[in-house]
Amino acid sequence: MTSRNHQLFEESQHYIPGGVNSPVRAFKSVGGEPVFFQRGEGAYFWDADGKQYIDYVGSWGPLILGHAHPEVVRAVQSTAQNGLTFGAPTASELEIAKLICQLVPSIEQVRLVSSGTEAGMSAIRLARGYTGRSKIIKFEGCYHGHDDSLLVKAGSGALTFGNPSSAGVPAETAGHTIVLDYNDVNGLEEAFNRWGKEIAAVIVEPVAGNMNLIAPKPEFLGGLRNLCTQNNSVLIFDEVMTGFRVGLGCAQALYQIKPDMTILGKVIGGGMPMAAFGGRRDIMQCLAPLGPVYQAGTLSGNPVAVAAGLATLKQVQQPDFYEVLSEKTRQLVEGLSASAKSHGIDFSAQSIGGMFGIYFSKQSPTSFSEVMQCDKDAFNRFFHAMLDEGIYFAPSAFEAGFVSIVHSDSDIEKTLMTSNKIFKNW
C-alpha cells in the first residue's frame, strides 16, 4: 500500500518546484523522500500516515514552547477574531517593540518585518545607508537569508571578494561582499587592514546554526566588536536563530558583546511568520519615514503574528526557564555522545541553551571547513535509522537541532535508548 506521504510528495512535485517550499525540506542532503506533517502537540508531531515522532527540529527553532502551546494558540485565536490584518499601526506592535527593547538593551529602536530574510536584507541596506559605504563582511557557512548580497560563498583566496552561491545573483553584487572563515580573527584583521574604511558592516551569527552548531571562540566576537568600533563599521548580530533561544538576553548577553544592530526572528514570532531588526537609535532613525533608507512591508507587525510572539515571550520570562531548557539539551547531547563513543564511533556533540549540534567526528568543529570534514554519510545513516524509530532530527548534517521546554525526561530517555540500539548495531 502506497503511503500518504509518498502520494503527497509525488503530486507536490507537479505544482511546487522540487515538491517543497524551502529546499532543505526535500531531503536532498540525506536522501529519501520528505515527511509531510499534519498535526503537532507538545514535543511531538504526526505525519500524513498518522505516525508519531519526537521532534528535535521545532520548525527550525521557533517552537521553544513546543507545538500548539495552549497560551500561544489562545492568543492567536483571540486576536484573529478581531481581524487578521489592518495594514495600520496597532497597540500590540508597540507592546512587543517595548518588550524587545527591554529584554535586549543593545536595541534602542526596532522595526518589525515578516521574515528573517527581510530583516537581514533591511539591516544590510540600513548599515550601508548609515555609513555611506558599500562593502560588507560575512562568514562562510553562515546563512542570513536569500538576499543577493548574502548568497555569497568564499572566493578563491583568503582575501578576495565572494562569488555568487546561487544562480541569479549578479557577480557585481557579490563583489561587494567579503567572505571570511568563521572564528578566524587573523583573517578578520587582515580584511580590515585592507578595506577597513570601505566596510559598511560585518554580519555574523554569534553562534552559527546554519552549518550545524558552531560555537564562537572567546576572542572571535570580541575581535569583531573592536575592529568594527575602530573602523566605524556596523556590527550586526544575526540572532534569528539564537534570539531568545540560547538565553533571555540572546547570545549577545551570553557572550557580553554589544552589537550595533540585531536581527531577530523565529522565537519572537512564536511559530508565526515574524522577524525584526533593531539597534542603536542613531542608526535606526536613518529609516524612512525619518531618514533616507527605504523599507516597507504590508504585513509587517501583523497582529496575529505579534500575538503569538507576545505569548511566547511571556512564557520564556518565567523563572529558571532557560536553566531547565539548557539542562534538557545538555542531557540529550551528552547522552548521545556517550552512547556513540561506548560503541567506538567517532562522534561529538555540543549545546548552547536550547540549541544543539551533533557531528560524526572526534571533536566538535569550529569552522565551516571542519564541518565539511565530518562524516556526512554516517549522519545520513543515523538520521534515517532514527526517523524509522519515530525520532525526527534535522534532515541535513549541516543544521543545528532544537529542544523545547516540553521535551520530557522520558522523551530524551527514549531518544538515547533508540540511539544506543542503533549504534550497537552500527
Concatenated DSSP letters for 123-173? HHHHHHHHHT--EEEEETT----S-GGGSEE--SSTTSB-EESSTT--HHH
Strand partners, 391: 54
The one catalytic residue among 181, 266, 322, 392: 266
Candidate list 53, 130, 143, 359, residue with the active-site label: 143
**Candidates 147, 238, 260, 411; catalytic one:** 238
Q: Is 238 a catalytic residue?
A: yes
Q: Is-catalytic flag, 56?
A: no
User: What DSSP string describes 231-245?
Assistant: HTPEEEEEETTTTTT
Coil/strand/helix, residue 299: coil
315 exposed, middle or buried (CB, 10 Å; 0-12, 13-18, 19+)? Answer: middle
Asked if 109 contacts 284 with a C-beta cutoff of 8 angstroms, the reply is yes
User: Do strands 355-359 and 177-180 pair parallel, antiparallel, or not at all (unpaired)?
Assistant: unpaired
**Can 153 be counted among the known catalytic residues?**
no
Contacts of 423 (CB under 8 A, 6+ apart): 339, 340, 342, 343, 345
CB atoms within 10 A of CB 30: 22
**What are the residue numbers of the active site?**
143, 238, 266
